[in-house]
Amino acid sequence: MAASDRPGGLTALSVLNGFFALAVGGTTIQRFMTSYDLMEVAEGEVRGRGWRRRYLKSLLDEGLTPMDLQILALIGLVATLLLLVSIWGLLKRSNLIGRWLGTLGGVALAAFYILNIDWLPETYLRGSGLSIARQIFYPLFLIFMLHVIFRRDFLQAQGKSG
Amino acid sequence: MIQFRHVLLHAQKLIIHSLRTGSGVAFIFLTILIGLSLANLSITPVELGFTTAEEFRESASKAIGFALATASLRMGGENENGPPDTDILSRMESGDLIDLGMWARYLILDNPMLLSITVLLLGVVLPLILPLGSFTAISSDVQHRTVRYLLPRTSRLSLLVGRWLGTLFLSWVLILLLLFSVVVYLSIMLPPEATESMVPWAGRCLFSLCCLATPYVSLGILCSAVFRVPMVALLAAVGATVGTPLLALSLQEAWDPLGNLLYLLPWGYSHELLSPNGDKVFTAVAYSLGHSLLFMTLAAWRFRRADL
Amino acid sequence: MSNSSEVTTGEAIRISGLSHHFGEKQALKDIDWVLPQKGIVGLVGPNGAGKTTLFSLIAGFLTLQKGTISVLGESSPVASALMGRVGVMPQDAIFARDISIFDQLLFLLKLDGYQGEVAEQRVREVMQRVGLETELFRGAAVLSHGMGKRLGVAQAILANPEIVLLDEPTAGLDPANARQIRHLMRELAETSLVIVSSHNLLELQDLIDSVGVIVGGELISSGTVEEVTRRARRFEIHLDAKVEVELVVELKQLSHINEVEFSDQQLTVSLNADQEDGLNGALSQLYRFLIEKGLPPHEVREGASLEQAYLKLTGEDQSS
């Protein structure tokens, strides 16, 4: 017998989940670090280079708070973890871990980028707008694939294991 | 003998199959990824403030004029003295290339510049991506002999046309998604009055890209029908798409008329799909359809005679 | 759905002057063959004899080079009127790996004209008939060789075709599954023509109504099993006493005896049933001789006559 009858599309999705988990994970770390830098600047501590301090000060002036960044980072962390866990679920065609955690991961990923656009000031986002559009496309694509194209694969696999 | 019901069934199956296979998902994702990256490339310099909109417009206008002169095989002109770049620019201002200068201004000044640049870049890159969506359409089934389950039930022509239609539809949907994302983003970024003029121009761009996609999808299907091994079909389609302009432009150096080899594929006229001249647009659309028909006729001729 | 246009000629397939070559190699030479509307027809021949080529031409996989094949009254095997009326199980085709078996069969059945619930029900029914109902929603990639064969048969009979072409349908199957497929073929043969190619001649002998033997691209013999094997009916006779050489020498001189092999208490006799009194005359002569010699047969059973005929026809018989 062949090893698996998993459709190639599911394997591709699991690879893409890994790719986006790394991407959002990196951004999450960046958000955490920036939030601590912002806190230091807000508390008047003088650290780092001048241009960096001025940049952080301008973010504060535009209304960005360290809390905003920490909430975004938290959502990013959740998205990263969900996407990473769902890789295993997609490969195993687990309805709960693959389909539903993948869906939640997609929602968290979309929420992360939408809130980024909504909360972060223009100076922070400048130049990365279309890459964010690209990042928003993926969760929508993922949810469509999990609930329309591969829905029956997950349900059948669940039926067999159940 | 085409059975229309079968054509629709084959098209539907191809779309579903494309979404379920690794290569299909890769095609969809790569098209969107590369498309948005190209859009990013054209928007970022202005967005990041590396250049002002005016400076960008001016340099874009020159670059587009230069590209149009290359695509329409008019680089070598009446005035052959002096440095080529300045020569081209002066010819675009007041010489024999004045129509190209006006054309570039039409794209840059009369219509939303960033969208025009994005679509022009897509026009160059999409022909290279589209074979990814069509190279397995026929060849994969022939290689694995899966086609033998279909042949007693459907005509070869219905199968071929159905697969073509499915691939074309999928490509059009991807182009639509891509342009939609760019337009939505530009609408957010630009002032509201700019958005109004963008929608009709976006419609025109969508039409142009869909027309452009049709012959390239047909070429992909032709290669898929001719070659039994999918990777060979992919290499043939991409090789022909890349090789034709390289060959034409280098042979043109030796003898001008050889540049017309560019017309073997839509490279020779695809830019005219965005021309300000309605007649030229009509001709380009007719050429696109003609090329598609030619490729599909060749594919049908080959596929109907093939031992499967 | 299978379209039952009238075939008044009483024949399902008529092959005339069919030749085919692959490059320099002549695969089929001037084949003429008429096949009936019902029953099971066996197609036998050594490897590379041209069986699969003939199959592929009838199924429309290969384009005709010389000669004609008329199928169900249509002048070409790829006529649109034949779509869905001919079911084919090719030997080496594989199902797509990314789509479930159910969806693939459903798609094939939709091409045959079925729709909706009826189509879904039909897929379940056929999968049950081949014993694969539990694999419906799996991918074809996980099926074993035998299951793959059964799936191939299932897709061939999906739409109740009038002609079913099966290329080695029981090769690699365990005895129970092979029996199930043979049973299925017999059922199909009540209403359709089933053409089956196989190397298992013992299996074919009990199964088929007529046979065609292809050697070197030529149809060297065709007709009912009775007709093809008539010249070489083979019987195994067990005696109560040891067989002596003198007995064999005398036996060989009888008019209805073609060949005799012997070992210990067993005689294997090829009878010539082609004379006026046929097989009965040949058997009477044999029995009379043995009884006269005081050696009444303890057990008589017909041997692998199709195999014997095949070996003779193909020139592979080393016994004589």
Span A31-59, pLDDT tens digits:
899 888 888 887 776 666 677 777 778 88
Average pLDDT, chain C: 82
How far is C24 from chain A, CA to nearest CA, in Å?
38
| pLDDT tens over chain B, length 308 residues | 788 899 999 999 999 988 898 888 888 888 888 888 888 887 777 777 777 777 877 787 788 887 887 777 776 655 555 555 556 677 777 667 777 777 888 888 788 888 888 899 899 999 999 998 999 999 999 998 999 999 999 999 999 999 999 999 999 999 998 888 888 877 777 777 777 778 888 999 999 999 999 999 999 999 999 999 999 999 999 999 999 999 988 888 888 888 888 899 999 899 889 888 889 999 999 999 999 999 999 999 999 988 88
| Residue (of B44, B176, B32, B63) closest to B114 by Cα position | B44
C201-245 pLDDT tens trace? 777 777 888 888 888 888 887 877 766 666 556 677 777 777 788
Longest dimension (CA), chain C: 74
Q: Which of C61, C86, C96 sits opposite B308 (nearest CB)?
A: C61
Give the C-alpha separation, B202 to B182, whole Å: 9
Q: Closest approach of chain C CAs to the CA of B187, in angstroms?
A: 39
| A-contacting residues in B 148-187 (Cβ below 8 Å) | 177, 181-182, 184-185
In terms of Cβ atoms closer than 10 Å to its own Cβ (0-12, 13-18, 19+), residue B197 is middle
Over residues A140-160, the mean pLDDT reads: 86
DSSP string covering C203-224: HHHHH-SEEEEEETTEEEEEEE
- Residue closest to B231 by CA, chosen among B25, B32, B23: B23
Mean pLDDT (chain A, rounded): 84
How much is the pLDDT for C2? 41
Q: How would you classify the pairing of strands C86-89 and C163-167?
A: parallel
> Rounded to a whole number, what is the distance in Å from the CA of A91 to chain C's nearest CA?
14
State the average pLDDT over residues C109-114.
91
A93 vs C10, residue with greater confidence: A93
pLDDT band at C317 (very low <50, low <70, confident <90, very high): low
Among A19-28, B72-81, B232-241, C171-180, name the one with the lowest average pLDDT.
B72-81
Cβ of A148 under 8 Å from any chain C Cβ?
A: no
Cβ atoms of C267 and C293 closer than 8 Å: no
Sort strands C266-271 and C233-238 into parallel, antiparallel or unpaired. antiparallel
How is residue B259 annotated by DSSP? G
Q: How far apart are CA C77 and CA C59, in angstroms?
A: 7
CA distance B240 to B223: 10
**Closest by CA position to B36, among listed A125, A9, A128, A120:** A128
What are the residues facing C299 on neighbouring strands?
C238
The per-residue pLDDT for B84 is 55
CB contact under 8 A, A1 and C142: yes
DSSP helix/strand/coil, B145: coil
Asked if C108 lies within 8 A of B9 by C-beta distance, the reply is no
CA–CA dist C66, C29 (Å, integer): 10
Which chains reach chain A with 3 or more Cβ–Cβ distances below 8 angstroms? B, C
Q: What global pTM score does this model have? A: 0.81
Token code pair at residue C78: 């790829």
pLDDT digits (tens, 9 = 90+) for C45-70: 888 888 889 989 998 899 999 999 99
Question: Is C98 an interface residue toward A (CB < 8 Å)?
Answer: yes
Give the H or E element holding residue C154.
helix C145-156
Q: Per-residue pLDDT for A87 more than 90?
A: yes
Query: Measured between CA atoms, how close is B198 to chain C, in angstroms?
Result: 41
**C139 contacts chain A (CB < 8 A):** yes
Q: Do B25 and A16 touch (CB under 8 A)?
A: yes
Residue keyed to tokens 């070659």: B227
Any C CB within 8 A of B301 CB? no
